[in-house]
Amino acid sequence: MTAPDPQTVRDWLIDLQARITDAIGSVDGQAQFLTDAWAKTPGEPLQGDGITKIMESGAVFERAGVGFSHVRGPKLPPSATQHRPELAGAPFEAMGVSLVFHPLNPYVPTVHMNVRMIAAVQPGQVPVCWFGGGMDLTPYYGFEDDCVHFHTVCRDALAPFGDDKYPRFKQWCDEYFFNKHRSEPRGIGGIFYDDFSGDTPTQGFALMQAVGDAFLPAYLPIVQRRVGMPWGERERDHQLYRRGRYVEFNLVWDRGTHFGLQSGGRTESILLSMPPLTRWAYQHQPAPGSPEAALLERFLPPRAWV
Amino acid sequence: MTAPDPQTVRDWLIDLQARITDAIGSVDGQAQFLTDAWAKTPGEPLQGDGITKIMESGAVFERAGVGFSHVRGPKLPPSATQHRPELAGAPFEAMGVSLVFHPLNPYVPTVHMNVRMIAAVQPGQVPVCWFGGGMDLTPYYGFEDDCVHFHTVCRDALAPFGDDKYPRFKQWCDEYFFNKHRSEPRGIGGIFYDDFSGDTPTQGFALMQAVGDAFLPAYLPIVQRRVGMPWGERERDHQLYRRGRYVEFNLVWDRGTHFGLQSGGRTESILLSMPPLTRWAYQHQPAPGSPEAALLERFLPPRAWV
């Protein structure tokens, strides 16, 4: 068995992006995804290209971004090689799909999904590939059914790769998507993994495909269940306030966002994850016993959902 | 001459905070500053106390926060001692006042001011003090008069300390308040300085007083000139979008914010600087020839305002 062919992975990622935007565009019905193909200019430290797809002011999605990117560089950055010091400085390529959807209805949760592959290519040697990614859910109002559904689809997607994967990747997700300055999880979790090669050269790609393919089945039924629920100013205020936590996590703690912004990545593509509208308020606390308080008390603290 | 007495500096800072909130509260007329006195719990790595004053949903100010804090620690963090390696690890105290005001009317600029003193106390030695701070203006619409006024007051405040201070601190401000990932200044600048001891032990405190005392004369006349200007949805959209840049700077690049959040500072006091409402939109560009475009083209690029 050999490492996956980069062109095969690239084609699969571009197709995944198209499948997701087609489905999400249909669900929205009102807005359409704008497609922005970009390429790095010759002379920039990173070379490569990408396709940014973004939908704003939809009926269901206030802002939904899905980015594909594929970059090549002469030297693997240290942040990508902490577990592979022997590859530091090797020529590399990295490709992936990353998405964040911010729905308008506060009863529909925000979702994030990412799948990526990094390959280090040493002259005269077989390329070394590893994979990372995952998906996680950030509700504004907690519904047991939604959390159980999302985690069940995540667990089932990982089942073919061994029973250890879901518990490990679930815990990794809980630990990673955590606002340390608030001692507060970003959402109800999901799965997160990094530096994954698998037991065989093709397992990493197969797991990436399983995660990517599981995204729509994990998320769409939740959208369909919640999108008809009536909401008003109270729910909207709560949603805008909680979105501030999303901004805080992404700009302060998320290694990918922070590294991308500080190292000259494409800002507008990296910040697809920012919410369309966000508010901050001093010492804001939900009323005791309210559904808003239940989110913090019963849903955000890490739980075994399946 | 001796180093300033910490109690004297503390008293002055608390009085400065009160003078500013009194004046800003009067200008607003509708909302009032809430006062939140806090103290670190015994056992936390940093000890100390503070007074957070915050006004929200005012007639003039949508969110206005002024924080005083005074902390003591057993070991000066490396980030505070890059120019004083001999003091790394010494017991220290740090105190300061920091403010950010976000007006409601998009024609009134956002403003930031900070004055702080750090003292390292080595057993058996004279304490070593240094000072930092400054103030800078972030308009949503450019007015030459306002920029010239703000910079003139800054220049005049620093004049007694030598003709080199304003040009140096003005350039420092332009370089510091810069969103590198956008290649864009945060605002029209002002003054910024750090690690300042002065030529005599009392000069650092005197300069801190000059900067703090200059804040109201630098800012209030601009508020008074602009607060009556009518505005609508277009101006509001532009303001909310530009506030996103403020969030990006503070959470990605501002060393104080980032260090505070990552090291266990008081989150709600650090994030007083966050705007009350903010929006993001993909590849948003102001119309050519518009006042919104003029801000980016003619006001944000660093200029000699006086």
Smallest CA–CA distance, residue A233 to chain B, in Å, is 15
Choose the mutation target among A181, A250, A259 for the interface with B, i.e. most B CBs under 10 Å: A181
> What is the predicted ipTM?
0.94
* Mean pLDDT to the nearest integer, B106-124: 93
Contact flag B276-A271 (C-beta cutoff 8 Å): no
Judge whether B117 and B96 are in contact, CB under 8 Å: yes
The mean pLDDT value of chain B amounts to: 93
More reliable by pLDDT, B41 or A172: A172
Looking at residue B185, its amino acid is P
Q: How confident is the model at residue A1 (pLDDT cuts 50, 70, 90)?
A: very low
Choose the mutation target among B44, B249, B251 for the interface with A, i.e. most A CBs under 10 Å: B251
Choose the mutation target among A251, A254, A259 for the interface with B, i.e. most B CBs under 10 Å: A251
pLDDT of residue A2: 59
> B-chain residues within 8 Å CB-CB of A264?
181
Smallest CA–CA distance, residue A103 to chain B, in Å, is 14
A53 closest CA partner among A41, A45, A61, A44: A61
**Nearest-CA residue of chain B relative to A181?**
B261
Contact flag B34-A282 (C-beta cutoff 8 Å): yes
pLDDT of residue B128: 87
Contact flag A181-B282 (C-beta cutoff 8 Å): no
More reliable by pLDDT, B145 or B265: B145
Which of B180, B248, B275 lies nearest to residue A251, judging by beta carbons?
B248
Res A97 pLDDT > 60 = yes
Contact flag A280-B282 (C-beta cutoff 8 Å): no
Looking at residue A89, its amino acid is G
Contact flag A279-B281 (C-beta cutoff 8 Å): no
* Mean pLDDT to the nearest integer, B5-21: 96
Q: How confident is the model at residue B254 (pLDDT cuts 50, 70, 90)?
A: very high
Residues of chain B that touch chain A, judged by Cβ-Cβ distance less than 8 Å: 34, 36, 52, 54, 56, 63, 65, 180-182, 240, 244, 247-248, 251-252, 258, 261-262, 264-265, 267-268, 270-272, 274-283
> A-chain residues within 8 Å CB-CB of B278?
247, 277-280
A162-192, pLDDT tens digit by residue? Answer: 999 999 999 999 999 999 999 999 999 999 9
Choose the mutation target among B104, B110, B237, B280 for the interface with A, i.e. most A CBs under 10 Å: B280
Smallest CA–CA distance, residue A277 to chain B, in Å, is 4
Res B144 pLDDT > 90 = yes
3-class secondary structure for chain A? CCCCCHHHHHHHHHHHHHHHHHHHHHHHCCCCCEEEEEECCCCCCCEEEEEEEEEECCCCEEEEEEEEEEEEECCCCHHHCCCCHHHCCCCEEEEEEEEEEEECCCCCCEEEEEEEEEEECCCCCCCEEEEEEEEEEECCCCCHHHHHHHHHHHHHHHHHHCCCHHHHHHHHHHHHCEEHHHCEECCCEEEEEEEECCCCCCHHHHHHHHHHHHHHHHHHHHHHHHCCCCCCHHHHHHHHHHHHHHHHHHHHHCHHHHHHHHCCCCHHHHHHHCCCEEECCCCCCCCCCCHHHHHHHHHCCCCCCC
* Mean pLDDT to the nearest integer, A190-205: 91
B190-214, pLDDT tens digit by residue? Answer: 999 999 988 887 899 999 999 999 9
B158-178, pLDDT tens digit by residue? Answer: 999 999 999 999 999 999 999
Q: How confident is the model at residue A125 (pLDDT cuts 50, 70, 90)?
A: confident
pLDDT of residue A82: 67
B55-78, pLDDT tens digit by residue? Answer: 999 999 999 999 999 998 888 876
Smallest CA–CA distance, residue B164 to chain A, in Å, is 32
Contact flag A267-B65 (C-beta cutoff 8 Å): no
Q: What percentage of chain A exceeds 90 in pLDDT?
A: 78
Residues of chain A that touch chain B, judged by Cβ-Cβ distance less than 8 Å: 34, 36, 52, 54, 56, 63, 65, 180-182, 240, 244, 247-248, 251-252, 258, 261-262, 264-265, 267-268, 270-272, 274-283
A279-303, pLDDT tens digit by residue? Answer: 999 999 999 999 999 999 999 999 9
> A-chain residues within 8 Å CB-CB of B281?
56, 63, 276
Catalytic residue (choose from A70, A83, A102, A112): A112
Q: How confident is the model at residue A113 (pLDDT cuts 50, 70, 90)?
A: very high
pLDDT of residue A5: 87
pLDDT of residue B1: 41
CA gap B111, B187 in Å, rounded: 9
CA gap A202, A3 in Å, rounded: 6
Residue A264 corresponds to which tokens in the numbers above?
A: 């000259």
Residue B50 corresponds to which tokens in the numbers above?
A: 């503070």
A149 included as an active-site residue: no
Catalytic residue (choose from B70, B112, B149, B151): B112
Res A272 pLDDT > 90 = yes
Torsion of CA B158, B159, B164, B168, to 10 degrees: 30
> A-chain residues within 8 Å CB-CB of B267?
181-182
**Nearest-CA residue of chain A relative to B275?**
A280
Smallest CA–CA distance, residue A37 to chain B, in Å, is 13
Judge whether B278 and A279 are in contact, CB under 8 Å: yes
* A98-102, A120-124, A251-255: the lowest-pLDDT one: A120-124
Which of B258, B270, B281 lies nearest to residue A56, judging by beta carbons?
B281
Long-range contacts of A32-39 (CB under 8 A, 24+ apart): A33/A64, A33/A66, A34/B282, A36/B282, A36/B283, A38/A266, A38/A269
